[in-house]
Amino acid sequence: MNLATLREKVLNKPHSAMLIFSDINISYLSSFTGHAATILLTSKANYLLTDYRYFEQAKEQASHFKVICRDRANQTLASLIEDLLFQDDCQQLSYESEHISVNQWQEINQQVSSLTKLAKIEPEVGAVERLRYVKSDTEIAAIEKAAKIADSALAIMLNSVQAGVTEKELATELDYQMAKLGSDEVSFATILLFGERSALPHGIPGERQLKHGDFILIDFGAVVDGYRSDMTRTFVFGQASAEQKHVYQLVQQAQQAAIDEITEGVIGSHLYQQSANVLLNSEYKQYAGEGLGHGVGLVLHEQPFIGPACNAVIEKGCVITIEPGIYIPGWGGVRIEDDVVLTDDGLKILTNSPKGLIEL
């Protein structure tokens, strides 16, 4: 279906062709999960170009493609593309300009420009990404499964929370539990920070030891069939102070304000504004995070990027994160993040770990 839709929207003229370079987009269109591959779509055929390292894998996975094994010692990628464009009588070519280096494209462009019938070569930006914007039921099910793995792994890891444990030790334990429960890999490098370091939105776990009264900020995710989850929870080790409780409540209110507005057709900037109204009208407005969330799928951060200038329309099947935060240097930070999706039955929250302030 994805491939057919792309052909309908981009290859809708006779003698047209398209080159796809992004590993993620290649996987999305063909189910091939290896590397060192290029897709060439022409009006006559679907080609997946690779080499001996991935040839058998590509034949097995990319069932709707003619897989070609390039002899790297005797044929350049550019010359192979030229041969196929000539063979299929291609007269116009589009290519993923954002997923190829200038040097690589110059080599291909120089080679194919010699084709007398190839009258038009132009960049195509975001064609496959637009298809990925709305997820199928199968894609949503994979993200939901990844989210459930993350939920379960977090619950297990929290049993290891004790005074003196380091950020790195807990992060390693969390990653291990996700793998044990079936995650293909970590969705991204786990963020797990204590105390004042929780004010670092994307800090790296280190040797900081846990002390009573510390915030514990954990941002992490699992992966199932290439699809990623993304969740953040913030806890307090021991008894929370009045200020910690207040900041947490503000962030939770800001998240809920946005979630309450998610309906089909809503604009991303509107969601941001509902959340921002809570944080920017508080005494902590100077410490509020700049964005609200993003799409998530085969890539951790994908369209839409939800902020004050986001004009993207939220549609059914669009999986997004809602993750407001307050980050106070030298004191600490709070972020609460969930993956949500609009379905025919309304809004569904895929990440289900408890969100009330928990004192561990």
d(CA 81, CA 245): 61
Question: Distance (Å, rounded) from C-alpha 316 to C-alpha 334?
Answer: 29
Q: Please report, as a single letter, which amino acid is at residue 211.
A: K
pLDDT at 309: 96
What percent of the chain has a predicted confidence (pLDDT) above 70? 100
Q: What integer pLDDT is reported at residue 9 of this predicted model?
A: 85
CB 82 within 8 A of CB 112: yes
Domains for the chain: give ranges and CATH numbers: 2-132 (3.40.350.10), 137-349 (3.90.230.10)
Peptide bond into 308 cis (omega under 30): no
The pLDDT score that the predictor gives to residue 1 is: 67
Residues 55/56/61/66 CA torsion (nearest 10 deg): 50
- pLDDT given at position 267: 98
What residue ranges of the chain have pLDDT lower than 70? 1
Residue 24's pLDDT is 96
Three-state DSSP at 107 gives helix
Q: Taking the model in full, what pTM does it have?
A: 0.94
